[in-house]
Structure 1
């Protein structure tokens, strides 16, 4: 009962960025559930699809560098502006009929998502500093639950014979309903690079960013490729394929809700080490599965492990910087983290093209172990 009361209080404290996290989860969950249809619509091989997502990620990184300026310019309406831009851009991938147009469409969608990502994480970090409570895992959990529901819904739409354009249009309507809740005045931040002392914290930025990079790479690997693995590799239907990213999103939400409690009692870097091992085990199970149920179990274990890696890294770094530094530091670690979306698509697509999708998943499992062995222990020293 006490936990539930605290949870409700935490949601109220972070309700504005929470609406942003839910919106991002709805669009990317829908995208994950639609990947087989989108890939077929543009006639792309694994390698070409991975390359399209690689170039699309440039949009997110470019927008992230500009996010502090957008935040300063739009102020309390910054999340609303970024969310609206993302929602409108996501209509385009559903209309794509070739790899070039699809890449451009995903570039724009990723740009809106990347800008909103920085702003909403900065808002949560600022609220955490103000109220002295851990809120990052909660907000990332809301993203995951929205992601899971959207992925399942996308699978149901596919089973009903409805295309990606219809799905993205439906999500746009929900996003428009959430826009008013995203009005939020930011804490006072630095507006000029000269007023910062970020040059004294490169290790903190690179280590935190590296952890987030691996978390995003691992999430992306299953978000974009789990449905293909289940349908093409294990003979699943459209609904059974969509269940892969849906299970991932659901278990990530559960893991992050648990992380909301764990963060108050256990050091973030310790959680990172344990979580990375669990996530690596899960993706290895999914890769070696010879049945749908075994693969589902692997994706569930992966979701529980990977769920807390990015929010714990954001929280750990955010606690180590001042209010005036925060938006710029969050921007930098987010940009480094989003390199996972550069590395992930060509890694998954290229290895799948050469050796099969199973080998791609094993490669991600090995990369996850780097968090436990190298990055988290060194982040603890900062």
Structure 2
């Protein structure tokens, strides 16, 4: 079976993606409790979450160097570092320790994620396979399961400290599973000529990824608050919002893995972006949690393939010696959206309300089919 064979081939980066999803799913569903414990408003919470963005961007810039220096062990070392950052995270009961914890988690998560993407890109090139959607689908499955389990834990009265200790132990297990590795061959090593250069096509692919990850992570981080605060749902109902998003994203990515063939990515991206924008608008205008779940489901199905396909396109159009660099730089641009999304939603929510903030996110998604994809078509190598 193709799915199982591809999963065995990419089992090391798949474990890393599962570890990243384990933390962020738990974090999204635990966010109402964390916010209440810190006693901060939306804008302050958004500012605090920028700490993870800063740490992640620094580690992402350094990731290609780490990958070159530790081609077999870099992914495992990054996973161990992430587990070490997550294990004590639940102890942060005041603002300064929480900010420092988010900084450490941002740095380690960013490194773990980028090295996993680089590993997938190498495997795609070596075996002429499409693996990005599958591996990002593992992230979504892990995210959905973690969000749902966290909701149950909250309902049972379990607080942040014991729960994040369990999450850290889970990430430690994923780090051990990444030891099945591969090293770059001679054609994949960055040359002095290609080091540091970003083509206009990679910039556009990065911007598509940025918008997709912005919509994905902003909604993941604030959907529980939207359902609980705006629509009056309980803790379990709130946790079902990010769980629904994660589950439909997993389904979308696994389906995308099975149906995607070389050359079809732009068409799939166009329709996926339209579906995602429609879903986010429905969630923004939802009168009840049930309608919000439907909107988040449509958003998840649509946005699920945006980031992985854009990263795959960046790797496909790069020369072999520049492939890891192209993917890492497109991912770094894209993950600005992943990490800036939640704090930006905090600022927008504080200024205009959560409904308007989700509506602005939907308008951003429409930039993909209207502006960026036509530009990429003109820039694509002949």
Give yes or no for the alignment of 1:69 onto 2:65. Answer: yes
Seen in structure 2, the aligned counterparts of structure 1 residues 114 and 362 have a Cα distance that, compared at 3 Å, is same
- Residue 148 (structure 1) aligned with residue 144 (structure 2): yes
State the Cα deviation string for residues 108-133 of structure 1 (Å, max 9, x = none).
10111101111100111110111111
Aligned residue number for residue 56 of structure 1: 52
Establish whether residue 103 from structure 1 lines up as the match of residue 99 from structure 2.
Answer: yes
> Partners in 2 of 1:377 and 1:356 — Cα distance?
33
1:19-39, Cα deviation, whole Å (9 max, x unpaired): 111111111111111110111
2:14 is matched with 18
Please tell me whether the aligned partners of residues 90 and 106 of structure 1 are also in contact (alpha carbons under 8 angstroms): no
| Number of aligned positions between the proteins | 377
Shift of 1:142: 0.7
2 CA distance for matches of 1:356 and 1:261?
39
Show the counterpart of 1:247: 244
Q: Does 1:302 align with 2:299?
A: yes
Unaligned runs of 5+ in 2: none
In the TM superposition, what are the counterparts of 1:263-302 in structure 2 within 5 Å? 263-264=260-261, 267-302=264-299
Residue 348 of structure 1, CA deviation: 1.3
Counterpart contact for 1:126–1:323, Cα < 8 Å:
no
User: In structure 2, which of residues 192, 195, 200 is the aligned counterpart of residue 194 of structure 1?
Assistant: 192
Q: Deviations over 1:240-288 (max 9, x none)?
A: 1110000000000000011112212761111111111111100110111
- Cα distance in 2 for partners of 1:309, 1:129 equals 20
Could you list the runs of 4 or more consecutive aligned residues of structure 1 that deviate by over 4 angstroms after TM superposition? 189-193
What's 1:321 paired with? 318
Aligned to 1:37: 33
Matches within 5 A, 1:180-191: 180-183=176-179, 184-188=181-185
Pairwise mapping of residues 94-243 of structure 1 onto structure 2 (< 5 A)?
Answer: 94-183=90-179, 184-188=181-185, 194-196=192-194, 199=197, 202-243=199-240
Whole-Å separation in 2 of the counterparts to 1:361 and 1:9: 38
Moved more, 322-331 or 8-17: 322-331
CA distance in 1, matches of 2:86, 2:339: 19
Aligned alpha-carbon RMSD (Å):
1.6
Aligned equivalents of 1:109, 1:194: Cα separation in 2: 32
Alpha-carbon separation, structure 2, partners of 1:73 and 1:38: 37
What is the CA distance between 1:335 and its match in structure 2? 1.6
